[in-house]
Amino acid sequence: MKEIGIALLGLGNVGLGTYRILADHARDIERRLGAKVRVRHILVRDGGRSRPEDVPASLITRDIGTILNDPEVSIVVEVMGGLAPAKEYLERSIASGRNVVTANKALLNAHGEQLFSQALSRGVDLHFEGAVCGGIPIIRTLREALASDRVSSIHGIVNGTTNFILSAMADEGATYEDALAQAQKLGFAEADPTMDVGGMDAAQKLCLLASLAFAARVSPEQVHVEGITSLRPVDITLGREAGYVLKLLATARRLSEGLDVRVHPAFIPQASPLADVRGAFNAVLLQSAALGASLFSGLGAGSLPTGSAVVSDIIDICRNLLAGVSGRLPMLCSPYLQDVSLIPSTQRRGPYYLRFSVSDEPGVLGRIATVLGEKGVSLASVIQRPSRPEDPHATIVVFSHSAREQDVQSAVKWIDGLASTRSPTQVIRIEEGPGVLRS
Amino acid sequence: MKEIGIALLGLGNVGLGTYRILADHARDIERRLGAKVRVRHILVRDGGRSRPEDVPASLITRDIGTILNDPEVSIVVEVMGGLAPAKEYLERSIASGRNVVTANKALLNAHGEQLFSQALSRGVDLHFEGAVCGGIPIIRTLREALASDRVSSIHGIVNGTTNFILSAMADEGATYEDALAQAQKLGFAEADPTMDVGGMDAAQKLCLLASLAFAARVSPEQVHVEGITSLRPVDITLGREAGYVLKLLATARRLSEGLDVRVHPAFIPQASPLADVRGAFNAVLLQSAALGASLFSGLGAGSLPTGSAVVSDIIDICRNLLAGVSGRLPMLCSPYLQDVSLIPSTQRRGPYYLRFSVSDEPGVLGRIATVLGEKGVSLASVIQRPSRPEDPHATIVVFSHSAREQDVQSAVKWIDGLASTRSPTQVIRIEEGPGVLRS
């Protein structure tokens, strides 16, 4: 039986998952391919670290040269993460004519176009299903299944850590800090959770999805990114009473003026299929011209889920190698990718939830309502809660009608400067967009 | 720019959707392919029928020979439905070296293995995404994304007509007959709804999914298929009170003794992601070793949704043609497909909902409980409702603990023979399987 040699760069969480799936499902994969996939080398940075028992010592190397000099290696699989030396290793792999697989979204966001261009001109494949939403085949869906269609919007819950934290806050009334600590204890959040809770992880995934769906250059630096660290249980409770669920929502829409791409906490209707996405699950809701609404959901991270995506990429490239082709799919670079204008988030129009923390005295609501009115933000409903023993400030919550973000921001800036305002106003966007999957 | 010629066989609902997507998205498709897809012929059976304005008369033919004799036709797309002449036309297309696309699940169930074998030996591709669940890319997911994984179960709502009817019965308390009439009026059900409401349409889809997921020969004749025609609003109401939603569920599981493949109404937990699938939507919930639970949902039928799946197949084959390859994916025939044993549905173990319609007299519940006990069916809970003016019979509903289907059937047969039993007992399986998407 024919054999295809591969090398893994990295033996962390995803690397080990990839290795184990290739080992455990070897017979099924052979049967589907009519060929054997053989791991010939595994590059590790620290050769002295304890190695899982099921990985033979003979595969381990610390030298990328060993891999690049082995003519039997046809596919290099980068699962080490980080920008350096991952970028250099991928470049050298591509330059030497190897097909490559990566699960490194940070690298693709920072240097993707360069890597895809290099792969295109060298005539090799670069696959990256594992870089977005773990095992959910969303890259493949956009690259292949929806190649027939015109995507108009993407609404996603694409970060499991923040979704776990928000689910815990909603279900158990936990504070953000307690929910984060719980997520860290259970392994759903890292010791330094900044990338997740600050929204950057979600933004990197969203930008890859948007680039693919809209054939456009979109990078996290260009888009509005807001995390979940300022959210309070009271926001979740008040939103729920109004029929909403609070999620960290990644949104990309194609509008006539350009692309609207954002990551931020948002209230979505309880009836939205995204409202039911719990714990560490991810989901992506697409709207496209022919298919209409479609939903893709599953575990967005973890050793085996992400490993399964990496292995599906390896199998896809093996099928190309066995057929003697490459470059069947468009690469995320020129001429496929084009420049498009991005709509600034200040131009957003939609309803808002505004929670004001104010001194408990007469006339405050009147002043707030007046400022909002002057700025063109009209009120759909208002909730006023007096100060309580555990909270010396009064809470005023406003659900606005559709308003322009710029006007909301300017009103909030004014209100936050009032003597009666006790702490910065909480502003949460309400997105009615990701509606019910219903004909 | 290079041009790839295709021919459509059929210009019904799906054929017209396919034609329109190719026309409307021509520029996007050209950009993704670097080539033009040109419809050269459309075969219709009745050339005299009125033709949509946007389809040029010059494309229409009634003669398959015109298509097969045109050397510029590389892909033949069968969207005519039925077994004859679709089978013959596909065979002649394959024999002449054309790649083929079909959305014909009945044909694939009846003669698929033969067609796939022929395509395999002739070295052409046979794609069929449109045959199952319209635009949801579930065939592609099983053939490619999950090629890395080992699927253990498929739970699906794969028939939009019955899901629409059951949703209407649940939401509006409509009778089966009224809900069917409404579905027919809105175009969600055909004049002769037998294939849908009898479960055969779902069974044909499920068998294709199971064949692919388990690399096994499974045909609708071998599996238990039960439709929704005997369901009553009272069943939906009583199930809901116990925390369940009633769906026509298509299930395929890989067990150590063989495959368990069934289509029948089932109560599923309200918290199941399948419980939220409303109206004409379809959804497939997969369980696999590495990825865990994953859910795929969208419109499972209709001109444009199914057309989008057909066009994605056309694009995939175009990519192969441009790269000069074929046969990248395993074909649903030997050596990929193997014989496996199917577990008879009488061997099912699980809880049951039993609704008995009995005369309103003392001792009836005792007799029923005794018979169930003797057959080894133990009771989890019982609801007894006296006769009412509008219903002269009393209703007894039993929720059983897990029991063997054979024992349940034998108890029901006995009870249905009692003088006090007024009409055949309603038996509905309870499936806890398709659980919550939650880590």
Q: What was the pLDDT predicted at B437?
A: 56
Burial of B166 (0-12, 13-18, 19+ CB in 10 A): buried
Q: What was the pLDDT predicted at B48?
A: 64
Token pair recorded at residue A15? 């690397």
B136: pLDDT strictly greater than 70:
yes
Residues of A with active-site annotation:
205
Per-residue pLDDT of B338-351, as tens digits, reads 999 999 999 999 99
The reply to whether A19 falls in a domain is yes
List of chain B residues whose C-beta atoms are within 8 Å of the C-beta of residue A308: 146, 148-149, 288, 290-291
B314 in contact with chain A, both atoms CB, cutoff 8 A:
yes
Cβ neighbours around B122 below 10 Å, total: 17
Tell me, yes or no, whether A279 and A376 share the same domain: no
H/E element, A254: strand A244-255
Tell me, yes or no, whether B309 and B208 share the same domain: no
Supply the range of the domain harboring residue B143: 139-298
Question: Using an 8 Å Cβ cutoff, are A370 and A250 in contact?
Answer: no
The reply to whether A373 falls in a domain is yes
The reply to whether A250 falls in a domain is yes
Local confidence band at B439 (pLDDT 50, 70, 90 cut-offs): very low
B433: pLDDT strictly greater than 80:
no
The reply to whether A335 falls in a domain is no
Per-residue pLDDT of A130-157, as tens digits, reads 999 988 999 999 999 999 999 999 999 9
Q: What was the pLDDT predicted at A47?
A: 58
A35 in contact with chain B, both atoms CB, cutoff 8 A:
no
Question: Using an 8 Å Cβ cutoff, are A290 and A149 in contact?
Answer: yes
DSSP string, A51-111: --TTS-GGGEES-HHHHHT-TTEEEEEE-S-SSTTHHHHHHHHHHTT-EEEE--HHHHHHH
Residue where a domain stops, chosen among A244, A267, A299? A299
Interface contact B304-A281, CB threshold 8 A: no
H/E element, B430: strand B421-430
Question: Using an 8 Å Cβ cutoff, are B405 and B374 in contact?
Answer: no
A105 marked among binding-site residues: yes
Give the CA count within 13 Å in the CB-facing half-sphere of B164.
27
Tell me, yes or no, whether B92 and B106 share the same domain: yes
Q: What was the pLDDT predicted at A389?
A: 80
**Can you state the percent helix, strand and coil of chain B, rounding each to 5?**
40, 25, 35
Q: Between A and B, how many residue pairs show a Cβ–Cβ distance under 8 A?
A: 230
Per-residue pLDDT of B93-118, as tens digits, reads 999 999 999 999 999 999 999 999 99
Residues of chain A with pLDDT under 70: 47-48, 435-439
The residue whose two tokens read 């790269």 is B323
CATH of the domain at B292: 3.30.360.10
Residue B18 CA to residue B20 CA, distance in Å, equals: 5
The reply to whether B54 falls in a domain is yes
The residue whose two tokens read 């395509």 is B119
Tell me, yes or no, whether B73 and B157 share the same domain: no
Residue A7, amino acid:
A
Interface contact B319-A298, CB threshold 8 A: no
Residue B364 CA to residue A411 CA, distance in Å, equals: 71
B19 in contact with chain A, both atoms CB, cutoff 8 A:
no
Mutation target for A interface from B136, B148, B287, B313: give the one with most A CBs within 10 A.
Answer: B148
Token pair recorded at residue B160? 């939009």
The residue whose two tokens read 């300022």 is A230
Interface contact A148-B309, CB threshold 8 A: yes
Tell me, yes or no, whether B187 and B202 share the same domain: yes
Q: What was the pLDDT predicted at B385?
A: 85
In B, minimum Cα distance to A143 occurs at B32
Interface contact B295-A293, CB threshold 8 A: no
Q: What was the pLDDT predicted at B386?
A: 80
CATH of the domain at A408: 3.30.70.260
Tell me, yes or no, whether B252 and B364 share the same domain: no
Tell me, yes or no, whether A185 and A281 share the same domain: yes
Least confident window among A17-21, A370-374, B213-217, B391-395: B391-395
List of chain B residues whose C-beta atoms are within 8 Å of the C-beta of residue A291: 134-135, 298-299, 304-305, 308
Q: What was the pLDDT predicted at B280?
A: 86
The residue-averaged pLDDT of B294-303 equals 93
List of chain A residues whose C-beta atoms are within 8 Å of the C-beta of residue B311: 148-149, 290
CATH of the domain at B315: 3.40.50.720
B23 in contact with chain A, both atoms CB, cutoff 8 A:
no
The residue-averaged pLDDT of B212-239 equals 96
A306 in contact with chain B, both atoms CB, cutoff 8 A:
no
Q: Which of B204, B133, B28, B168 is nearest to A294 (CA)?
A: B133
Residue A352 CA to residue A377 CA, distance in Å, equals: 9
Percentage of residues in chain B having pLDDT higher than 70: 98
Least confident window among A204-218, B148-162, B256-270, B388-402: B388-402
In A, minimum Cα distance to B301 occurs at A291
Residue B394 CA to residue B17 CA, distance in Å, equals: 51
A328 in contact with chain B, both atoms CB, cutoff 8 A:
yes
Tell me, yes or no, whether A155 and A104 share the same domain: no
Mutation target for A interface from B162, B291, B303, B329: give the one with most A CBs within 10 A.
Answer: B291
The reply to whether B412 falls in a domain is yes
Tell me, yes or no, whether A317 and A259 share the same domain: no
Residue B38 CA to residue A129 CA, distance in Å, equals: 31
The reply to whether A87 falls in a domain is yes
Tell me, yes or no, whether A307 and A257 share the same domain: no
Q: Hey, which bits of B151-300 come out as E strands?
A: 151-157, 224-225, 244-255, 258-269, 281-288, 292-299
Q: Which of B355, B332, B363, B64 is nearest to B216 (CA)?
A: B332
Interface contact B148-A278, CB threshold 8 A: no
> If you average pLDDT over every residue of chain B, what do you get?
94
Residue A318: CB partners within 8 Å, gap ≥ 6? A4, A33, A35, A37, A75
Residue B224 CA to residue B214 CA, distance in Å, equals: 18
Interface contact A437-B24, CB threshold 8 A: no
Per-residue pLDDT of A275-327, as tens digits, reads 989 888 999 999 999 999 999 999 988 999 999 999 999 999 999 999 999 98
Tell me, yes or no, whether A113 and A252 share the same domain: no
Q: What was the pLDDT predicted at A187?
A: 87
* ipTM of the complex in this document: 0.92
Higher pLDDT, A428 or B47: A428
B297: pLDDT strictly greater than 70:
yes
Q: What was the pLDDT predicted at B135?
A: 86
Tell me, yes or no, whether A205 and A264 share the same domain: yes
Residue B160 CA to residue B166 CA, distance in Å, equals: 10
Q: Indicate the residue of A148, A299, A314 with minimum beta-carbon distance to B311.
A: A148
Question: Å from A324 to nearest chain B CA?
Answer: 8
Question: Å from A27 to nearest chain B CA?
Answer: 11
A190 marked among binding-site residues: yes
The reply to whether B331 falls in a domain is no
The total domain count for chain B is 3
